[in-house]
Structures are given as C-alpha cells and as structure tokens.
Chain A
Amino acid sequence: QQPVQSPQAVILREGEDAVINCSSSKALYSVHWYRQKHGEAPVFLMILLKGGEQKGHEKISASFNEKKQQSSLYLTASQLSYSGTYFCGTEPAGGNQGGKLIFGQGTELSVKP
C-alpha cells in the first residue's frame, strides 16, 4: 500500500519552515526521504530505521514514529535550492522485503525569493 504524503504541495518564501508528513497503513521497517528536481533523478536525503529515530542534515531533519507508522521531514530556514518534489519511500516491516521501497505520491515544494 502506497504511503500517503501531506501536503501535496507547499509554497514557501525563502527562510520559512515547512513540514512534510508521510503516513502508512502498514507497519514499517524503515523510511527513506528523497528530493527530486524536475527532469532529474531522486537524490537521497536520509534514512530512518528505528522507531523514534530522528536525524538531521544541515537544516533538514526527519523523525520516525514507528508506533504511528509515520515520518515527518522538517525543512527550516528554507533556501531556493530546496525546491523540488519530496518523496518518502517506505519499507514494510516483517519478512524478507529485499529492501524494496514503496514511494508516496510526492510533495511539491516551491521556495520563492
């Protein structure tokens, strides 16, 4: 089952903050976050493996609530370069899933000057 991302789209002014949510109806083993610019390949941002885990990368961080089967991506003090479509990729818990990811539908983020 495809995870659900919210919001579908968000427009920010440079320097503003944003939160993108990813929610699954299935128990999750891991959540991966990617950013994709138009016409380019997805670029890895971070992976969260454990319930309650939080990670940060400069001004982009994420959390993973295993019990709620949810992950959130936090972008602070957004920059123009943050524009793109953000995808969460989820790996279901249990069994040998082979590391395959099911991607959410994406959240389009636009940062304006």
Chain B
Amino acid sequence: DAMVIQNPRYQVTQFGKPVTLSCSQTLNHNVMYWYQQKSSQAPKLLFHYYDKDFNNEADTPDNFQSRRPNTSFCFLDIRSPGLGDAAMYLCATSRDRIETQYFGPGTRLLVL
C-alpha cells in the first residue's frame, strides 16, 4: 500500500523546458517536503509546506517553485531546468513537525 507516491518515476526534459513533478500522499499528513538529491550526496531540502504555510529554504533557486492545492498533493515546478538540476527529487511527508518523515520513491530528472 503506497503511502507517498511520486510521478513520474523518471522524467527527461530539455534544457530550459518547464517540468512539473508531482507527489501525493494517503497518510493525511500536515507537512510535505521536497528534497533534491544529487549522486552520492545527501538529500537537500528545497522547501516544505506545513498545511498551507509555505517555507522556502534561503538557498533554493528561484527557478524552483511549489504548489500544494490540497492536503494530499504537492507539486514541484522547475521553470527553466538547467543541466545542474539533473538529480533525484524526493518528496516526504510527516504528520507534524519533528516527527518521522516518510519518503516517496523519488523522481529521477534528466536534463538534455
């Protein structure tokens, strides 16, 4: 029973062509996170939502945006992907702050 679902699992896009990654959850958790993970590196937090309250990390590029239309769904929009944006994008949820984060399987983004 999937709890955190990410689509697509693999995404190929062209340099500069906008792309949207999606995340959905069946846990009814309040908090949703987006992480970027490059090869052999730690996951890096991009932003998170506590309910509808959006929290952006200071070093997240302006190229990255997010939307959370309801509790279950959260989207990551990359407006003009560059080669350096190729990475695994992980969505995670937690019931509340300072609680276990459950990760989805990730979307691997390739930029050509």
B48 CB contact (under 8 Å) in A41, A43, A100, A106: A100
Q: How far is the CA of A102 from the CA of B58 in the complex (A)?
A: 13
Interface residues of A (CB under 8 A from B): 2, 29-30, 32, 34, 40-44, 47, 49, 87, 89, 91, 97-106
Q: Hey, which bits of chain B sit against chain A, CB under 8 A? A: 31, 33, 40-45, 48, 50, 55, 57, 90, 94, 96-106
A98 and B42 form a contact (CB under 8 A): no
A42 to B106 Cα, complex, angstroms: 10
Does B103 lie within 8 Å of A43, measured CB to CB? yes
Question: Which of B42, B57, B97, B106 lies in contact with A87, CB distance below 8 A?
Answer: B42
Given contacts A99-B31, A104-B42, A105-B42, contact A42 B90 (CB under 8 A): yes
Task: For A42, give its contact among B41, B55, B103 (CB under 8 Å).
Answer: B103
